[in-house]
Chain A
């Protein structure tokens, strides 16, 4: 297990390093000279050289990268030219609502997926199976902006049960916060649940066919314990991996959902920054998104190893 953890952590570090190099390189490849942009039209050769030296642009590319990385590690991602604020603050403030939405969507997804995958596997080829799998494909394939609009139309406009737009931190105002999160989380979470339900179904069917299930039945293990203990403990192991892989997809998917529900998250920040060529913000958003996905996958892999004794004890 220690070996596994160390190798996985080393792998993660390598990925993060590669990502930082790519992002740094991309920022340098953007056309245009930042010194010229800062100086304006009227400047002397000397002023140009001075500013260039002050920005560190006269150093070698490797030195520039090291300085850049040091700043990032100290939490300095630069300032936004347009929003007149530190990029770290901007990105973090946008990231929190997005993360809240993604986590809430995952919860909604799992709550829907586990029972529907379970019932589909237990009553394979029955109306339950077709019904829950049909539902899974339906919610998985519906684009989230469409789902969001339909939900707003039904539950906000017609029934008035939930607010249509907006976001409040659930830890500042739990009632309002969760209330406003319901429709967006269903919008994004049903997409996730469709995928997870199908994986739970197939994984459970495979496990139920294993010898140890038959052997446990032959020892007198009752059906409920057979399914919920013996089978689920094995069937959920691959599901954990999928949850990790889907975290990235959900972060991306959150952009559309945020737009529909006017949530001030990463989606809005990034799109605005790209349109305004606010590169420092784009860079910060990409960096944080990548780090989040990579770290979540590290956690998921460690969880997977912990759940699976064949890896934990290797």
Chain B
């Protein structure tokens, strides 16, 4: 699906955090858009700035000590320009967000039902009693058995998977047009993961809701998303449709992430990316990925590549990426580099 009708457009988003010696850029000029009903994956290792990007969109980064610049266009507003009061009207109503740790995302001293009803009452008209009924219906819909009874329970009486279902239920209770899901299954068992992801996918389809799925797992993203945005060290390094990115990944980092997926190419082999993501205080010169890149050239250490078109709705930030038809130079190089590594 193409982003023909973007509901959210982020342009040049910069998130800076307070460090010991001044501000550190954790997100550096991220631009992305999400179409109506589109499911977009935001991928990268820990520390790539995915979560901060997502939180900054909703104004959840504390400023100060942080600083957020750029624009986040949503329904004709720049969310970064809005005050807390206006933002509060959009949060939960138009854009909902669920988090990595479902157990810790629910207030331990309030009953589940009260928390669901509270967030509905913030944005929806109607008497408390009607909202309770609707809350029960929603919890039933997201797969909480005996939802009416369980509404009287407290968060500690819910398993992680059940708590995440509650969070999802709360998230979709006001039929938002965008759901930001920040690593929604990372803290869950593998079997529960699949159920929760299937739930998000079916709700998104049912409600025509767009989803921004933040994940470090390209495998999950491949099952869920129409489009993928890959981040590295605070920057977007590649974006493309899910088909394109698996068929013809243009950035060596994307390729490396794929190599970390088990059994994707039919070979039971796990790759690793050598080295670690650079810290915010020691961002490499040139291309930020070059110290870990298998195919880096001398100029990669000097010149910073810009994000440019390398195909149809396919953009990458790599000097070696070529437009489709210009020769599969990176892919060949990356493949040979990978094959040279011990499995």
Contact = CB atoms under 8 A, between A and B. Distances in A.
Nearest to B180: A218
Interface string B297-314: 000000000000000000
A313 interface: yes
A215 B105 contact: yes
A215 B109 contact: no
Contacts of B156: 309-310, 313
Interface string A205-235: 0000011101111111111000000100110
A217 B119 CA distance: 10
Interface residues of A, number: 22
A218 B60 contact: yes
A307 interface: yes
Nearest to A222: B88
Contact of B105 (A211, A222, A234, A313): A211
Contact of B154 (A223, A233, A237, A310): A310
A80 to B, nearest CB: 49
B145 to A, nearest CB: 19
Interface stretch (B69-77, B91-99, B233-241): B91-99
Given A211-B101, A222-B85, A216 B107 contact: yes
Nearest to A216: B107
A218 B123 contact: no
Contacts, number: 78
Of the candidates A217, A223, A234, the one having the most CB atoms from chain B within 10 angstroms of its own CB is A217
Contact of B122 (A212, A219, A223, A230): A219
A233 B97 CA distance: 23
Interface in B153-177: 154, 156-157, 167, 170-171
Contacts of A308: 108-109
A220 B89 contact: yes
Contacts of B122: 219-222
Contacts of A211: 99, 101, 104-105
Interface string A174-201: 0000000000000000000000000000
B107 A233 contact: yes
B84 A219 contact: no
A211 B156 CA distance: 14
Contacts of A215: 97-99, 105-106, 167
B3 interface: no
Contacts of B58: 218
Contacts of B99: 211, 214-215, 218
A218 B157 contact: no
A70 B156 CA distance: 46
Contact of B110 (A210, A233, A310): A233
